[in-house]
Amino acid sequence: MEEAPGDTLGVMAGPLNPSTLGDFRRDGMTLSVHCEDCRHHARLELDVLAARLGWAFDFYRDRPQLDALIVCDQCGSRKHSWIVGVPTGQMTVWPAALDAAEP
């Protein structure tokens, strides 16, 4: 396994490297959005996103297109952040990194 770029906590990239909605579905990933104004949190259905954007939609490259569609259904805000859910057991924390973090 390779170390994730910019990773300072020792979290190592696993076999997953999804970028398209199809990749996310294949790998059991989830996408959630968090409203920065009212703190509402919603998990998005990949099937619904793909029906509008297609399974080949690249989340990282084309995210501005998706950002323009997102409006909080609780407060109407467009200020949000994304949460990419990784399936349990797909990321590994190296014990050496944990040892280095101890006081």
Instruction: Tell me whether residue 94 is in a domain.
Output: no
Which pLDDT tens digits describe the chain residue by residue (103 residues)? Answer: 343 443 333 343 445 578 999 999 998 889 999 999 999 999 999 999 999 999 999 999 999 999 999 999 999 999 999 999 887 555 555 555 555 555 5
In a domain, 90, yes or no: no
12 within domain boundaries: no
Burial class (CB in 10 A: 0-12, 13-18, 19+), 95: exposed
Q: Considering its fold, how many domains does the chain have in total? A: 1
Q: Report CA torsion sign: 76, 68, 46, 82.
A: negative
Q: Is residue 68 assigned to a domain?
A: yes
Residue 95 lies in a domain: no
Residue 59 forms part of a structural domain = yes
**Mean pLDDT across the chain:** 78
Range of the domain at 72: 17-84
pTM over 0.85: no
